A and B are shown apart, each in its own frame.
Chain A
Amino acid sequence: MATTTGTTAPSQGENSLSGSARPRKKPRRSYKVGRGAIPYLLILPAVLMELLIHLVPMVVGVVMSFKELTQFYIRNWGAAPWRGLGNYRVAVDFNSAIGHALLHSFLITCAFTVLAVGCSWLLGITGAILMQDAFRGRGFLRALFMTPYALPVYASVIIWAFMLQHDNGLVNHVLHDQLHLTSKPAFWLIGNNSFISIVVVSIWRNWPFALLVLMAGMQNIPDELYEASAIDGAGVWQQIRRITMPSLRPINQVLVLVLFLWTFNDFNVPYVLFGASAPAAGDLISIHIYQASFLTWNFGSGSAMSVLLLLFLLVVTTVYLALTSLRSRRTHV
């Protein structure tokens, strides 16, 4: 893959460059057009491969969503009868049990995503600002904060699962046995508290990524800006508001989007924490779809839900990008 991309990209770039340059005989102008196009031509092969690798399974998934693909047909998908929009109708009929459960799971996931992304970002920006200036032990702290992100998902989340156990878990030991904050030990892996558990574990796992990206972004902010503003009498808050945040705008734009997509789609964390059948309060959409297809052996219905999820994420992403680019264009013009 890598070698193909590497070798084809420049040659395509050159071809189109010379192809557009020769017949016109206006070197200056065409040079300009070509130069603008080079980056796009360079990434073209990669984009094509990406689309091929991702598009084919996606198309198969979309086709499956129109079929009644149950256990009777998984050996021969072609023979599965077409259901038209039947799978979709069931999924969005919120009065039926399946549609109602999907809506419930969707709303849970929205709340979970807003909380998890919001807190991850807040922790990340706080940490990045506090560690912006060099001090003794900064390197150690940075490495320490990165640990949750560097650990394998399964290993770290299974430890959380042990800590959150009712009888022997560390969390109950601290909250109930030591601090006496609860009247009796709470359940964290079943029942309503499972929502809190999944949010906390997700933040614990994702905030180091926010920290990493924001720290990298802050290194590009020239120190002169801070020095100049300090001479002009700006306080720390003003510096954060007027210098740090505006400079980080492009970083934040991508960071929040990426965190949103990862969190919304997260499968590993809830799966390891709760197992295949998640409690209602922690029934995130990816687990829900997994259950709707793999555990009940109805892959058509599961695919239909996946397609709906894809559409939702595309709409959110498009609107988000449109809004943020519009705002940044306004502020920069």
Chain B
Amino acid sequence: MRRTSITAAIAAITLVATAAGCGGGSATGDGGNKNPKTLTYWASNQGKSLDDDKQKLTPELQKFEKQTGIHVKLEVVGWPDLLNRVLTAASSGQGPDVLNIGNTWSASLQATGALLPFDDTAFSAIGGKDRFVASALGSTGAAGKPPAAVPLYSLAYGLYYNKKMFKAAGITNPPATWSELVTDGKKLTSGGKYGLAVEGANNAENIHHAYIFAKQHGGDFFDASGNPTFTSPGAIAGVKQYVDFIASDKITAPGNAEYAQNQSLQDFATGKAGMLLWQAAGVQLAQRGMKADDWGIAPVPVQSGAPGQGTNVDTMVAGINLAVFKNTQNRDGALKFVKFMTSDEEQKILNGKYGSIPPVSAAQSDPQFSNPEQTVLRQGLAKSAVALPQVPKESQFEDLVGTALKDLFADAAAGKPVTTQTVQKRLEKAQQQMTG
């Protein structure tokens, strides 16, 4: 008997011990050029699947190898893992040479010091800063510091609508203001079909929309010095207006509150919802079997008037940035690769494949980016886009406020009242968790 309990005790301690395990390491090396013949590149998942990305990128990487003799090892990393992988790479020093990052993470990752700053020397190595569109450069790091990355693909939100459903409901023009959108949404909502699809449990999507809504109400989630202002009246009003699509307008199916795997895109493609707010959805709608003639695109609505700056912004500066890992053992090769990927020719090819907008001015004027969808997105980026806060705590904001929105959507879907007070309370909690 005694022996059994001792064995059990040892087993128990071992089991308990695994609970608190955490790895360790330090990564302060600043790289160099010890390994000039190869590069490791982490690409983000822009296509339908990781494999789709591989097929799209490989021919370009082979072209690069032909030009420079540098072999690029490609790994496509899915969005749920990418930030964790980057963080692990930053803390261990074992990472790729070149990597894609969501452009909203730029300032957060910049603060870790893991990315090579694009100062004047680095920019001249890739052909100069003025090749890039100004709005895209606005989402590459904190103001007053050398950018942590350069723009690779630009994206913006547009309002996608189902032409057949609009016609059947007697709607002639796509809505230009939110009140029009709600009116139209109510006309479309009947018989198991809904006006608008939202991705209610997806933190990133929630944050993007909440931020634009807050801006339209004259609010923000951070003040000028980078401190959180989650409970400013504008932020509360913005969040509430977004959640109200389910809570009080009832133009969005309650089930959307648990969407996090692009089901809203699927619902729109299959005609379960008449409208969708999305970034460059065209390619993905085609992959889901929706014909290009069946959908139309318009600028994202505003509160009143026409899209512009100030309280009339209607999209965020969305997109993907390309960064160089500071620890790289092939810094010159990495910069050559960045130059290659942002060259006019590659920009046209890559953005053409993904349906995004080139952040490089010379490539943007190519006629292939002048179809109706990309014209709307391009004009949004040029005239009425705002960058998400370029502060170190941006990624925490995405997580905490994103979770708050998910909870509020869950309440709305369950039929619980969502009022200014409940929104304020939930955002207060998020802010306290951020400040400690």
Residues of A within 8 A of B (CB): 39, 43, 47, 50, 54-58, 60-62, 64, 71-72, 74-78, 90, 96-98, 101, 165-167, 185, 187, 189-192, 250, 253-254, 257-258, 261-262, 265, 275-277, 279-280, 291, 294-297, 299, 301, 303, 306-307, 309-310, 313-314, 317, 321, 324-325, 328-329, 332
Could you tell me the distance between the alpha carbons of A275 and B47 in the complex, rounded to whole angstroms? 22
Q: Can you list 30 pairs linking A and B with CB atoms under 8 Å apart?
A: A57-B20, A58-B22, A60-B23, A61-B20, A61-B22, A64-B22, A64-B24, A71-B392, A71-B395, A74-B90, A75-B114, A97-B433, A98-B432, A98-B436, A190-B410, A250-B1, A254-B8, A254-B11, A257-B12, A258-B11, A275-B80, A291-B399, A294-B84, A295-B396, A296-B400, A301-B436, A306-B19, A306-B22, A307-B20, A321-B12
Known A98-B433, A265-B19, A297-B396; contact A190-B87, beta-carbon cutoff 8 A: no
Q: Is the beta-carbon distance between B19 and A310 smaller than 8 angstroms?
A: yes
A60 → B minimal CB distance (Å) = 4
Nearest chain-B residue to A286 (Cβ)?
B19
Q: Which residues of B contact A (CB under 8 A)?
A: 1-5, 8-28, 80, 84, 87, 90-91, 93, 108-109, 111-114, 201, 203, 253-255, 257-258, 260, 392, 395-396, 399-400, 402-403, 406-407, 409-411, 413-414, 429, 432-434, 436
Chain A: minimal CB distance from B104 (Å):
14
B16, B26, B257, B403: the one within 8 Å of A277 (CB): B403
Q: Is the CB of B112 within 8 A of A75?
A: yes
Complex Cα distance, B19 from A57, in Å, reads 11
A56 to B24, alpha carbons, bound, how many Å? Answer: 9
In the complex, what residues of A have CB within 8 A of residue B87's CB?
71, 74, 294, 297
B26 cross-chain contacts in A, Cβ below 8 A: 75-78
For residue B13, which residues in chain A have a CB less than 8 angstroms away from its CB? 314, 317
Interchain CB contact (< 8 A) of A325 among B2, B84, B433: B2
Known: A190-B406, A257-B12. A58 touches B20 (CB 8 A): yes
- Across the A-B interface, give the 3 residue pairs with the lowest CB-CB distance, nearest first: A97-B432, A190-B410, A61-B22
A54: chain B residues within 8 A (beta carbon): 14, 17-18, 21
For A56, give the chain B residue with the smallest CB separation. Answer: B24
* Chain A neighbourhood of B10, CB < 8 A: 43, 47
Q: How far is the CB of A224 from chain B (nearest CB, A)?
A: 22
* Chain B interface, DSSP helix/strand/loop, else mixed: helix
> Complex: how many Å from CA A122 to CA B17?
28
Total number of residue pairs linking A and B with CB closer than 8 Å: 187
Closest B residue to A279 by CB, please name it. Answer: B410
Contact (Cβ within 8 A) B429 A258: no
CA of A297 to CA of B8, assembled, Å: 36
Given A187-B410, A294-B84, 20 more A-B residue pairs with CB atoms under 8 Å apart are A47-B10, A64-B22, A75-B26, A75-B91, A76-B27, A77-B24, A90-B436, A98-B433, A101-B429, A187-B254, A250-B1, A254-B8, A261-B12, A277-B406, A280-B407, A296-B433, A309-B19, A313-B19, A325-B1, A328-B1
Q: A50-B14, A72-B112, A189-B258 are in contact. Are A296 and B396 (CB under 8 A)?
A: yes
CB distance from B38 to the nearest CB of A (A): 23
* A254: B residues at CB distance < 8 A: 4, 8, 11
How many whole Å from B194's CB to the nearest CB in chain A?
11
Is there an interface contact between A71 and B20, defined as CB atoms closer than 8 Å?
no
Which residues from chain A contact B399 at a C-beta distance below 8 Å?
A: 276-277, 291, 295-296
Q: Which chain A residues lie closer than 8 Å to B11 at the CB level?
A: 254, 258
Instruction: Please state if B432 and A58 are interface contacts (CB–CB under 8 Å).
Output: no
B12–A317 contact, CB under 8 A? yes
Closest to B18 in A: A54
Contact of B201 among A43, A275, A332 (CB under 8 A): A275
How far in angstroms is the closest Cβ of chain B from A235?
Answer: 29
Residue pair A303, B16 in contact (C-beta under 8 Å): no
Q: Determine the chain B residues whose CB is within 8 A of the CB of A297 once the complex forms.
A: 87, 108, 395-396
Given contacts A275-B260, A277-B399, contact A261 B16 (CB under 8 A): yes
Per the bound structure, the CA–CA distance linking A257 and B310 in Å amounts to: 60
Find the B residue at minimum CB distance from A63: B24
B257 touches A190 (CB 8 A): yes
CB <8 Å contact, B27 and A191: no
